[in-house]
Amino acid sequence: MAAQPDAVPPTPAKDPAEETGARSGVHPVDEKLPPLKMATTGLQHVAAMYAGVVAPPLIVGAAIGLSGTELTFLTGACLFTAGLATFLQTLGVWKIGARLPFVNGVTFAGVAPMTAIVASTDDKSDALPVIFGAVIVAGVLGFFASPFFSKAVRFFPPVVTGTVITLIGISLLPVAFGWAQGSSPTADDFGSATNLGLAGVTLLIVLLLRRFTRGFVKQIAVLLGLVAGTLIAIPLGVTDFSPVADADIVGFPTPFHFGAPQFQLAAILSLCVVMVVSMTESTADMLALGEIVDRPADEKTIAAGLRADTLGSAISPLFNGFMCSAFAQNIGLVAMTRIRSRFVVAAGGGFLVLMGLCPVAASLIAVVPRPVLGGAGVVLFGSVAASGIQTLVRAGLDKDNNVLIVAVSLAVGVIPITAPEFYHAFPETAKIVLDSGISTGCVAAVLLNFVFNHLGKGHDDQDVTHPMEAGEEITGATTRAPATS
């Protein structure tokens, strides 16, 4: 049907903040909102990413066997360093920082390799120093590689990044299932109906909040689920408030609290792979965020943003924190609220720093029973895997080459989960890398993508076939549109 010539499309309603920015001649990204609005919207960013920041230290700390007090300290340190990294990214200094509303926090990609390092360390008191040493080296190398990496993005298309993000979620789901059973496999109630029921109720609460609420409440559904699950657990006698009672009101993450960094080659190699994954995710996030805020991220912006990521990661272990990266869920929050000011996100970074300096605030998460964390973790970690699948949808899986890349890379990546003893005959140093499905899956995806999609470009126009049956198109259609890469 032809369009009517006199039809005038409706003018979309503008956000008041956008109109103010337009009148003042300041781009919405660089606009400073009124203090109250900046504080409340900054808190919303913290709420959206809080569970994601505290989950990695909880996982790694539990694997090491840290006490409630030490776990509180580690969690507070990760909140503090996430705030510092967010400052670097939003406010920037020199050629460091994308200067976009970009939230940084502890990356999920490092959890599986770090727990593998913990498992391979005989003296668990050395595990964190080994991890911190590896993160420092990976961060420094990543900082100097940032301008070159921004030019090599073509080797990390959605077929690679989607596979890796999917593996991150899949690798973390067993952690959630372990939490759902209880705090320790040696405990009498491990896997009991009470624990599993508590995890199921928490999961149900999160799902109901996500389904029947809107706006801010929907964004913090996981956080509210943790609170509700903890309250339900109190009369069941599985909630321990001792971490709060033992925590100070004011504290500072003492540098090298867990010992001086130790530098082991296998651990460094493993977390360097994680750094590549993290830089790939951050690059994709910067490109997406640049479109959302109407300030496209060019090569210079990407390089500056990667410098902030990597420098934040290198500094983080000094204050007992882990590797930092972009938080994709906050990009969705920017798109939903249409508040594009980077100073709002910087305010959120300020709240993270304050929380890191208040051990009582950090200790609250240590009160949450493991089964409650397990129920929420199913949503949290499953969402990471789903995010990877969403990326794979854009990867051109109607191309035979891409199907093979995903198939083999996922198969390699799930080996440590489905067959934990698969690499038992390899040296312990090699197993630190091999036992991380994220690391091995990423390496496989990058190499396969290079072989199939970059070598011999003349073969790219071949018919799309099923990977196991030559000549049969995946869709079964007789005709199809040309595949896009």
CB 319 within 8 A of CB 313: no
* Residue 159, domain member (yes or no): yes
Instruction: Kindly report, residue by residue over 443-455, the tens digit of the pLDDT.
Output: 898 899 989 888 7
* Residue 15, domain member (yes or no): no
Residue 193 CA neighbour count, 13 Å, CB half: 0
Residue 365: predicted pLDDT:
65
- What's the whole-number mean pLDDT along residues 149-171? 80
Model confidence, pTM: 0.68
* Residue 449, domain member (yes or no): no
* Helix (H), strand (E), coil (C) string for 369-394: CHHHHHHHHHHHHHHHHHHHHHHHHC
* Domain range enclosing 223: 28-397
- Type of residue at 33: L
Residue 303: predicted pLDDT:
92
Residue 44 CA neighbour count, 13 Å, CB half: 20
CB 60 within 8 A of CB 115: yes
Higher pLDDT pick, 434 / 473: 434
* Residue 10, domain member (yes or no): no
479 falls in which pLDDT band (50, 70, 90)? Answer: very low
- What's the whole-number mean pLDDT along residues 360-365? 70
Residue 236 token pair: 């069941």
Residue 341 CA neighbour count, 13 Å, CB half: 25
- To which residue do tokens 């990877």 refer? 388
Mean pLDDT, the chain, as a whole number?
Answer: 80
CB 327 within 8 A of CB 105: yes
CB 378 within 8 A of CB 173: yes
Q: Which of 157-171, 270-284, 308-322 has the highest mean pLDDT?
A: 308-322
Answer yes or no: is pLDDT of 13 > 70: no
Answer yes or no: is pLDDT of 139 > 90: yes
Answer yes or no: is pLDDT of 475 > 70: no
Number of residues written out for the chain: 485
* Residue 291, domain member (yes or no): yes
- What's the whole-number mean pLDDT along residues 71-94? 90
- Type of residue at 454: H
* Residue 154, domain member (yes or no): yes
- The domain total for the chain is 1
Nearest CA-CA partner of 337 in 209, 215, 223: 215
